[in-house]
Amino acid sequence: MTDTVGITALIPPELVYACRHRPLDVNNVVPTSSINPRSKLCAWTAVWRDEIMEGGLDIDSLVVVAGGDCHNALVDGQKVALSGVPTHYFFYPFDRDPDYMASQLDGLAGFLGGIKNKEMFRTISGLKEKGLALDQLRVDDRARASDVFSALISFGDLQGDPAAFEEVLDTIPHTDVEYSSRVALIGVPPIYPDFHEVAESFGLHVVYDELPYEFVRLGGNDLQALAGSYRNYSFSGPITGRIEMIRQELDRRRVDGVIHYTQFACHHTLEDEIFRAHLDYPILTVQGDLPRSSSEQLKLRLEAFSEMLEVMP
Amino acid sequence: MNTGLDVGSTTAKIVRLESGIITASKVVPSHRWKELLEYGNKRDTIETIVSTGYFRRTVPHTAAITEITAASLGVRYYIPDAQVIVDVGGQDTKVIDLRNNTFLINDKCSAGTGAFLELAAHYFDIPVESLGKLHTRARRCALINNTCGVFAISEMISQLVGGYTMEEVICGIHQAFARRIAQMIPPVETLVLIGGTVLNTGIVESFESIHSSTVVVPPSPQTVNALGAALYGKKLRPEI
Ligand code: SF4
């Protein structure tokens, strides 16, 4: 029987499928959720917590990425666990130790009942190739950033059905994109569901989504290969690695400016100063809190940033 | 003729340019913005209207630009090597760093905006325009610590009860205001202040006392954004 496993951040979805379960990235319901959490720091974790506890999300168990990602998730995950949902805690190695990573993947496979369908590793590798091609398509101005973003962000769980997801990928329109500036979006993904469309409406072509790119970049065809790849998940390690990676991508994708999305009450907000000191690009920092469509204040910032990149000498 | 129309949250301004020379400029309350379209208008000339400000899309325009771009262009007209601009608006305050094309907008808290001074003036039941004059009469400044507009009022009251004069409390309010905005300002040698609020000399003085930077206020700081909008029009249609 296939169980639905809620996941709170990136874990290898290929492993979940190989254990004959279906992952569901609980974050994917947050941007359109109408829940107003009663106790919260970051709305991302508080909303999925309440969605699960109020029965709005149908999951059989939960995997909380508790180390190398988010402390809020650790606490809110424990609240969910106390309400009776079988919960597993997953930790990335900060020092990128491959053995530790392998032991974490082993533990996860154990929680999921063991690997039963190794074929899934290969199937999902193939899909990730498609994801990478899609990512390149927008770099080449041949696909809308909003379409590519929504495809890439789904690589955390492949929408619960790899075969159906492949069809979704195949229908992403290829179209010539016109824009005034190329920008990168770094940080956690915006909690605003229309962020990419709004940026687009002001002539900003988002050619890099930091986190979704990690979703397609990492992979492997067996447990060992996964350990070797996922230990490099940039969000889980020292920021120096992230800066290096971002720099490379900004250069490769020929961006004019960087948007750093920060989330209210998220520790990643503190990284803004570091990026400003180490990335030599115009940077716009925007902060979101509750899931809503983009506010007028956000629109003003995006419009002004677009003008700055275009008009200013 | 290149017209710049800046319709913000509290006031509307117009600046008209002919061959790059300012021929008209005027300020009215926002809801009376229509009056501006008549002011200094020569009907026989071709006109490009560039609008800016919160209501830039609601008013007639050939093109609309944000206040950030308008401020950058307007300030550069007077001060070509300007580095950091502080634009104090009625509902928000913007800090624009022209050295690396970045900006910050404070629009979540009223304490560093014109609304904060309105609140203080309202408490004393005096027009907001008279705050600057009263400030000059203060012999010392009462300390107002609070960076929340609403709580600052209770602090004002306790300073008044404690023996400070209204003028001294106003001086303290201005300093609290400048301190609040200072948190947004990067280190720089010269700071350019714009917006109607900086017509208040008490505010300018408070910035000077808090910052090691030299503080510069361009002529007509209230209409700089309208001027910037008009200048943008000139970029679009250089021939008029
Ligand atoms: S935004 Fe930050 S605090 Fe919120 S879930 Fe993501 S990592 Fe955690």
Q: What is the pLDDT of residues A61-75, one digit of tens each?
A: 999 999 888 989 999
What residue has token string 């609403």? Answer: B150
pLDDT-derived band at A244, boundaries 50, 70, 90: very high
Q: Are the CB atoms for B169 and B144 separated by under 8 Å?
A: yes
Look at residue A263 in the predicted model and tell me its pLDDT: 97
Provide the 10 A C-beta neighbour count for residue B222.
18
3-state helix, strand, coil in chain A (%, to 5): 50, 15, 35
The larger pLDDT score, comparing residue B42 to residue B169, is at B169
Task: Provide the residue type at A297 as one letter.
Answer: Q
Which DSSP category does A43 fall into? H
Contact B65 A307 (CB under 8 A): yes
- Decide: pTM greater than 0.80: yes
What is the C-alpha radius of gyration for chain B, rounded to an integer number of angstroms? 18
Q: Are the CB atoms for A23 and A16 separated by under 8 Å?
A: yes
Ligand 1 midpoint to CA A205 (Å)? 25
Cα B35 to Cα B20: distance, rounded to the nearest angstrom: 23
The larger pLDDT score, comparing residue B152 to residue A160, is at A160
Tell me which of B55, B69, B225, B235 to substitute to probe the interface with A (most A C-beta atoms closer than 10 Å): B69
**Ligand 1 binding pocket, CB closer than 6 Å:** A 42, 44-45, 70, 72-73, 188, 263, 266, 268
Select from A66, A92, A94 the least CA-distant residue to A80: A66
Q: Are the CB atoms for B172 and B239 separated by under 8 Å?
A: no
Cα A89 to Cα A56: distance, rounded to the nearest angstrom: 22
pLDDT-derived band at B3, boundaries 50, 70, 90: very high
SS3 A40: coil
Condensed to tens digits (0 to 9), the pLDDT of residues A7-47 reads: 999 999 999 999 999 999 999 999 999 999 989 999 999 99
Condensed to tens digits (0 to 9), the pLDDT of residues A97-132 reads: 999 999 999 999 999 999 999 999 999 999 999 999
Query: Which residues from chain B sit within 8 angstroms of residue A284, using beta carbons?
Result: 102
β-strands A4-7, B214-216 pairing? unpaired
pLDDT-derived band at B25, boundaries 50, 70, 90: very high
Condensed to tens digits (0 to 9), the pLDDT of residues B70-114 reads: 999 999 999 999 999 999 988 899 999 999 888 999 877 888 888
Q: Kindly state the percentage of chain A with pLDDT values over 70.
A: 99
ipTM of the complex: 0.88
The larger pLDDT score, comparing residue A313 to residue B57, is at B57
The larger pLDDT score, comparing residue B149 to residue B182, is at B182
Task: Provide the residue type at A262 as one letter.
Answer: T
pLDDT-derived band at B151, boundaries 50, 70, 90: confident
Is the pLDDT score of B237 beyond 80?
A: no
Based on the number of CB atoms within 10 Å of its own CB, is B31 exposed (0-12), middle (13-18) or buried (19 or more)? exposed
Look at residue A78 in the predicted model and tell me its pLDDT: 97
Look at residue B24 in the predicted model and tell me its pLDDT: 94
SS3 B214: strand
Encoding tokens for residue B191?
């700071």
Encoding tokens for residue B189?
């040698």
Query: Which residues from chain A sit within 8 angstroms of residue B113, using beta carbons?
Result: none
β-strands B21-29, B11-18 pairing? antiparallel
Cα B169 to Cα B164: distance, rounded to the nearest angstrom: 6
Please give the residue of chain B at the shortest CA–CA distance from A279: B100
Is the pLDDT score of A313 beyond 60?
A: no
Task: Provide the residue type at A174 as one letter.
Answer: H
Provide the 10 A C-beta neighbour count for residue B38.
10
Please tell me which of the candidates B98, B103, B107 has its beta carbon nearest to residue A304.
B103
Q: Are the CB atoms for A8 and A63 separated by under 8 Å?
A: yes
Cα A75 to Cα A66: distance, rounded to the nearest angstrom: 9
Mean pLDDT of A232-248: 96
Look at residue A287 in the predicted model and tell me its pLDDT: 95
Of the ranges A119-123, A229-233, B208-212, which one carries the lowest mean pLDDT score?
Answer: B208-212
Select from B234, B239, B235 the least CA-distant residue to B2: B234
Encoding tokens for residue A87?
């919960």
Query: Which residues from chain B sit within 8 angstroms of residue A303, using beta carbons?
Result: 66
Select from A296, A255, A313 the least CA-distant residue to A138: A255
β-strands A257-263, A181-187 pairing? parallel
SS3 B57: coil
User: At a CB cut-off of 8 Å and minimum separation 6, what does B231 contact?
Assistant: B2, B4, B17, B73, B74, B77
Provide the 10 A C-beta neighbour count for residue B124.
17
The dihedral through the CA atoms of B120, B124, B128, B130 has a sign that is: negative
Averaged confidence pLDDT in chain A: 96
Look at residue B100 in the predicted model and tell me its pLDDT: 87
Cα A23 to Cα A12: distance, rounded to the nearest angstrom: 10
Encoding tokens for residue B124?
């004393």
Look at residue A312 in the predicted model and tell me its pLDDT: 67
How many angstroms separate the CA of residue A59 from the nearest CA in chain B?
A: 37
Contact B102 A300 (CB under 8 A): no
Contact B69 A297 (CB under 8 A): no
What residue has token string 């350990």? Answer: A227
Select from A207, A187, A212 the least CA-distant residue to A286: A187
Cα A206 to Cα A199: distance, rounded to the nearest angstrom: 8
Supply the DSSP string of B144-173, one letter for each residue: ----SHHHHHHHHHHHHHTT--HHHHHHHH
Cα A23 to Cα A25: distance, rounded to the nearest angstrom: 6
Mean pLDDT of A170-191: 97
Three-point CA angle B102, B108, B112, nearest 5°: 75
Look at residue B47 in the predicted model and tell me its pLDDT: 86
Select from A149, A153, A139 the least CA-distant residue to A252: A139
Is the pLDDT score of B147 beyond 90?
A: no
Look at residue B239 in the predicted model and tell me its pLDDT: 61
Select from A116, A127, A98 the least CA-distant residue to A224: A98
Side-chain-facing half-sphere of A104: CA atoms under 13 Å: 25
Please give the residue of chain B at the shortest CA–CA distance from A297: B107
pLDDT-derived band at B240, boundaries 50, 70, 90: low
Cα A139 to Cα A137: distance, rounded to the nearest angstrom: 5
How many angstroms separate the CA of residue A280 from the nearest CA in chain B?
A: 9
User: At a CB cut-off of 8 Å and minimum separation 6, what does A58 contact?
Assistant: A4
pLDDT-derived band at B42, boundaries 50, 70, 90: confident
Select from B57, B47, B54 the least CA-distant residue to B24: B47
Tell me which of A286, A298, A303, A309 to substitute to probe the interface with B (most B C-beta atoms closer than 10 Å): A303
Q: What is the largest CA-CA distance in chain B?
A: 63
Of the ranges A126-135, A261-270, B26-35, B145-154, which one carries the lowest mean pLDDT score?
Answer: B145-154
